[in-house]
Structure 1
């Protein structure tokens, strides 16, 4: 294990699968003690098991990020007896599936669900992560956005609105807390290869999505995690308030 994060602590929301799991594994592999939070205990336990088997230190906490009390509790668990939180990685989110509809026909229920999890959940996570960081005078938060954070996506009103909001929150928090030694950044992720990405989608839909990435493929979760680790590390010490594209050129068009 690489130990350049030895003695540090992190909370990773959405840490049971996909990008969140990859981030948790990468941070733990660098020596960080990681708390993974999410709604599904079995997948969280799997992530913790993978980390401990590799010699790392991890724990899990059940948390729906749209629930303020649950988020506050998750941060308390991550802070633990040591009283510090070095890194917050906010990866929990939902996409709403492929029921593509224009704004006039978009489900209000779906819109509210996107905002509650993807935007409110990020806000609440930041709100409680920032408090111990402010008390200790340092910290780094990385929010996981998407191409829909910076460009429009037809048929995805709720997801696009929520992910645009994540970038606004990121930049505002960077301004609020930069003078206090806390950096806040976001990743603009392209489509990422996770276990559920192709479920229920036709080969034609998947081919279209892959073709939207000029690099000719979609990302591996580890490629997003590598960027997250860099944004947490001292190597990015002069970087804050940015929305870093890790998207295979998706937003370069």
Structure 2
């Protein structure tokens, strides 16, 4: 099966200005699709096929307005939504404040809910992909991130519930759980030897690239995955089993 031939042509990507979100947007455009990119900041490098908007996706009104605008910008309802926007906070429970907890849960958890809700309102059929993390399934003693782990676990449960609710409407919902991906969010890069120590444990012996996660997202929004919904797929180089 030619994956490109089964990919949707109108795709909303959040967190599109950098990291995994940018890689997803680039991959969709390279396949011939059109991307409506949402982020708190504008992309550093505009390109053909990308319509960019700034939006606070923790704000219900702003999120709904952005999705309404997407229908006009894409000349039709979106065929797929890939929600990559999120935040990481390295903080053990003994040091984390309620304000920090609330911020992480609001951006990662409430943001995912609002994006999915807005997507369900404007989509007629298609696929939604949310970004969880391997943190949902494995604790991390080296870099404790209690709020992050909890928020990414919530996304796994949200994905399953949305798949049940939206499936009869022809909308599939899946999640991708990245492992250690080489993006600005990866704090291991600040610790000498930490990356080498980690990759030695991984079956694939390397860090992931944003393009690795983008490839999984494209599979999940394509017709090649038409019988997959409610799943969380690790893209982690074997981290969860190592």
Length-normalised TM-score, structure 2: 0.90
Question: Cα distance 1:6–1:206, how it changes in 2: closer, same or farther (>3 A)?
Answer: closer
Matched, 1:92 2:79: no
Q: By how many angstroms is 1:245 displaced?
A: 1.0
Q: By how many angstroms is 1:29 displaced?
A: 1.2
Q: By how many angstroms is 1:212 displaced?
A: 5.0
Question: Cα distance 1:71–1:5, how it changes in 2: closer, same or farther (>3 A)?
Answer: farther
- Unmatched 5+ stretches in structure 2: none
Moved over 4 A (4+): none
Question: Cα distance 1:35–1:161, how it changes in 2: closer, same or farther (>3 A)?
Answer: same
Matched, 1:194 2:183: yes
Higher relative contact order (CA 8 A, sep 6+): 2
Matched, 1:118 2:111: no
Helix, strand or coil: the match of 1:69? helix
- Map of 1:105-144 to 2, 5 A cutoff? 105-133=95-123, 136=124, 138-144=125-131
Q: 1: CA distance between counterparts of 2:177 and 2:97?
A: 25
- Tell me the residue number matched to 2:71: 79
- Tell me the residue number matched to 1:185: 174
Helix, strand or coil: the match of 1:183? strand
Question: Cα distance 1:213–1:65, how it changes in 2: closer, same or farther (>3 A)?
Answer: farther
- Asked whether the equivalents of residues 8 and 221 of structure 2 are also in contact (C-alpha less than 8 Å), the reply is no
Q: 2: CA distance between counterparts of 1:159 and 1:132?
A: 29
Question: Cα distance 1:241–1:90, how it changes in 2: closer, same or farther (>3 A)?
Answer: same
Question: Cα distance 1:5–1:238, how it changes in 2: closer, same or farther (>3 A)?
Answer: closer
Question: Cα distance 1:5–1:79, how it changes in 2: closer, same or farther (>3 A)?
Answer: farther
Q: 1: CA distance between counterparts of 2:111 and 2:50?
A: 22
Q: Which stretch shows the higher mean deviation, 12-21 or 74-83?
A: 74-83
Q: Of 151, 156, 175, which aligns to 2:164? A: 175
- Unmatched 5+ stretches in structure 1: none
Q: 2: CA distance between counterparts of 1:39 and 1:93?
A: 11
- Asked whether the equivalents of residues 79 and 126 of structure 2 are also in contact (C-alpha less than 8 Å), the reply is yes
Q: Deviations over 1:211-248 (max 9, x none)?
A: 45332111011111011111000000000000011110
Q: By how many angstroms is 1:150 displaced?
A: 2.2
Q: 1: CA distance between counterparts of 2:108 and 2:200?
A: 26
Q: How many residues align?
A: 237
- Asked whether the equivalents of residues 3 and 29 of structure 1 are also in contact (C-alpha less than 8 Å), the reply is no
Alignment root-mean-square deviation, CA? 2.0
Matched, 1:228 2:214: no
Q: Of 147, 164, 176, which aligns to 2:134? A: 147
- Tell me the residue number matched to 1:36: 37
- Map of 1:36-55 to 2, 5 A cutoff? 36-41=37-42, 44-46=43-45, 48-49=46-47, 52=48
Q: Which stretch shows the higher mean deviation, 165-174 or 60-69?
A: 60-69
Q: 2: CA distance between counterparts of 1:141 and 1:126?
A: 7
